[in-house]
Amino acid sequence: MKNAIGEFTKGIIKENPTFVLVLGLCPTLAVSVSVANGIGMGIAATFVLLGSSLIVSLIRDFIPDKVRIPCYIVIIATFVTIAELCMKAYSPLLDRALGIYVPLIVVNCIVLGRAEAFACKNNLANSFFDGLGMGVGFTLALILISAIREFLGAGQILGHTLIKGFEPVFVFSMPSGALLVIGLLLGFFNIIKNKKS
Amino acid sequence: MNIQEFLTIFISAVFIYNVILSRFLGLCSFIAISKETKPALAMSSAVMFVIVMSSAITWFVYRFLLVPFNLTYLRTISFILVIATFVQFVEMVVRKISPQLYRAFGIYLPLITVNCAVLGVAVLNIDMFFINGKAVAGSFYYSVFQGICVGLVYTLAMLLMSGIRERLEFCNVPEALKDFPLAFIIAAILSLSFMGFNGFKF
């Protein structure tokens, strides 16, 4: 049990996929215009991570080593298609907001990276918690970035105005604002890391 | 199919919706491999070739396999499989024909499979040039042309970025900003300059 908790929590801070491993950046930057989009993307990616980790760990003994990457990709693409169809059916607005970035979860390096680095070597329970932890870590990172961007770029968070009379800085809603925010956040986390060590 | 349409695709792919700097496709490789100009150039030529070819192949797959059999929901799976197979095939051919080129590409070739730009352009082509499951007139040429434009943009962005980063190598930057954070901040400024083209209209 202790092991499982360790696998779960490491994805959130110590090995956070966005800020520590610096993986899967295209969706992170592109959809983080508003917190709602960020949460939607995070949930979709967590679902795909969880599903693919489970399946890869279940059939890890049957996959020949040489063709393992294509196998992983097919498994991941299946879960992405499920997520895509569900999103189209239940939340068409979110689907339109996320656009091509939903099918692009297939090539999100976090998902393939977890399958290759963890799920193919570990048992079902550990892979489950690893996938869940990474997904939660990814979602939290997305929420952090999108909250900063939505607040600075539109003066709101989840559609609610926080400070009256706050003049939004429009550039943070633009792509270049995303790059700036993540660059500064990475630098900020580096300062904390350097201080600790 | 007319010249104006091609021009619109070119301008919007290169300037207005710059694939890397405003759509963020292929950002991982853009940040990771842009430290020096030479590998950046090798990577972008490989990416360009794969993007152009895969946008042609995926068009055929979508038009003649998925649409007639009503299987359009299999788009993501079939596209990524086609791209993965094609990259593997290119790798084998290059290794056989020109070991020198193969060494120049090195690990970059297999990495292209998971480059979002390749799948992204394939999906974008379908979104833009198929209306309600029907191909727009000349959509094949548009798709290939968009692939070429995106490849050019990728090369341009890689060259700009690696040139800047090569010069920054000798600068004294704050410890915490070294490497990744600084690369993102440079990309932010580059993206800001491309935003100036946003007002372009035809």
pLDDT tens-place string over residues A13-62: 787 888 877 777 888 888 888 898 899 999 999 999 999 999 999 988 88
pLDDT tens-place string over residues B24-72: 888 878 887 888 888 888 888 888 888 999 999 999 999 898 888 888 8
- Tell me the C-alpha to C-alpha distance, in Å, between residue A193 and each of A20, A197, B173, B175, B177: 10, 6, 17, 11, 12
pLDDT tens-place string over residues B69-92: 888 888 889 999 888 888 888 888
Smallest CA–CA distance from B126 into chain A, residue: A100
Quickly tell me which residue has 């760990």 as its tokens. Answer: A57
- Reduced to 3 states (helix: H, G, I; strand: E, B; else coil), residue B162 is helix
pLDDT tens-place string over residues B123-156: 888 888 888 777 788 889 999 999 999 999 999 9
Which among B22, B24, B178 is the nearest to A25, CB-wise? B24
Which among A23, A24, A77 is the nearest to B77, CB-wise? A77
CA-to-CA distance for B154 and B9, rounded, in angstroms? 15
CA-to-CA distance for B78 and A74, rounded, in angstroms? 9
Chain B residues near residue A23 by CB distance under 8 angstroms: 28
Q: How many CA atoms lie within 13 A of A197 on its CB side?
A: 6
CA-to-CA distance for A49 and A71, rounded, in angstroms? 15
- Tell me the C-alpha to C-alpha distance, in Å, between residue B150 and each of A132, B16, B127: 35, 12, 16
Chain-chain contact of A70 with B81 (C-beta, under 8 angstroms) = yes
- Reduced to 3 states (helix: H, G, I; strand: E, B; else coil), residue A59 is coil
Helices (H), chain A: 2-10, 25-31, 35-58, 68-90, 92-98, 109-114, 124-154, 175-196
- pTM of the predicted structure, to 2 decimals: 0.87
Residue A107 has pLDDT above 80, yes or no: yes
Q: Which amino acid is at A152?
A: L
